Amino acid sequence: MKGPAIFLAQFMDDTPPFDNLKGICEYMAELGYIGVQLPSWDSRCIDLQKAAESKDYADEIVGTVKEAGLEVTELSTHLQGQLVAVHPAYDEMFDGFAPKEVHGNLKARTEWAVQQLKYAAQASENMGLNAHATFSGALLWHTMYPWPQRPKGLVDTGFKELAKRWKPILDTFEDHGVDLCYEIHPGEDIHDGITWERFLEATGNHNRACILYDPSHYVLQQLDYLEFIDLYHEKIRMFHVKDAEFNPTGRGGVYGGYADWKDRPGRFRSPGDGHVDFVGIFSKLAQYGFEGWPVIEWECCIKHPEQGAAEGAPFIREHLIRVTDKAFDDFAGTGADEELNRKILGID
């Protein structure tokens, strides 16, 4: 594993040093980070289309980050990916993720989002990156806890359509040699292992369909996030280090009762302040040979972001595991000897 790294989306602001890429990278480098994940929708960080169409500009972005002593870990299209599949009930709320010229026009907004993802594939290649972060969007989320019951075949139709929309995008990422990593997340049609398997199957087990692993969303669903690694480690290409806690009461549980974040039984916390077993996670990922970046995605309903950022780098560093290249009991070994092995087994 490489790190520590941090996702810049939650820190960009209109005040220095958070209002431009150079300033925020220098700030994060002083805190001890060596990598940054860039939100591609934020023009203060990057012009995504320009990075796709101009190798010189892409090199300029990489150079700005390197001058601060950092690396670009990945680009993110979380907001654009969300718009690849949107149920009409959410149109008004999601319009804000797209330019004003496509607001109120579902077809034009979807086409814009798809193009953004294709730009992201080219930009990632231009910047020498091998993985990319996004959301799947959702056509079925409004039926997640259905009443009345879902009509037979509805879920199959939904995932067939979701895969149909993403297949050309995945093919583009294949062309550019970049893994497209979906953050498994409530509000998306891909929100747990079951839905991930449905989507992967619907895409024909596409080679570039991969996973961004974020345990905080599994805590809020009460999903076994350690077994998730056992099940899907071969597809996990990215890792968000984000904490959460779940404190159910007699008044509220997983659904949260429409409460604000601070008042929900399940809520996001700064790393180390919640319930996530990061020792177990880092151990599992090291066991399976994860070679990506542990990236702080800071979201906390209590702590100030600057404190969260300052604490995040040492938190990751303390959890990084140098994988051993020898067995702990090698000192007691007797060496390799086929004749001895046969004697021990009683083979004549």
Ranges of residues in the chain whose predicted pLDDT is under 50: none
Query: Are the C-beta atoms of residues 252 and 265 closer than 8 Å to each other?
Result: yes
Tokens of residue 1, six digits: 């594993």
* Residue 159: burial class (beta carbons within 10 Å; 0-12, 13-18, 19+): buried
pLDDT recorded at residue 5: 98
Cα–Cα distances in Å, from 322 out to 1, 68, 235, 317?
Answer: 8, 26, 22, 11
Tokens of residue 156, six digits: 């199959």
Category of 26 on φ-ψ map: left (φ > 0), alpha (ψ -120 to 50) or beta: alpha
pLDDT recorded at residue 325: 85
Task: Judge: domain 5-345, CATH 1.20.1250.20.
Answer: no
Element (H, E) at 110: helix 106-126
pLDDT recorded at residue 307: 98
Cα–Cα distances in Å, from 116 out to 7, 8, 112, 121, 172?
Answer: 19, 19, 6, 9, 12
pLDDT recorded at residue 3: 95
Give this prediction's pTM. Answer: 0.95
Return the domain boundaries, the chain: 5-345
Q: Which residues contact 148 (CB under 8 A, 6 or more apart)?
A: none
Q: What is the pLDDT of residues 110-131, one digit of tens each?
A: 999 999 999 999 999 999 999 9
Q: Which of 315, 226, 209, 319 is nearest to 269 (CA)?
A: 315
Q: What is the pLDDT of residues 27-45, one digit of tens each?
A: 999 999 999 999 999 999 9
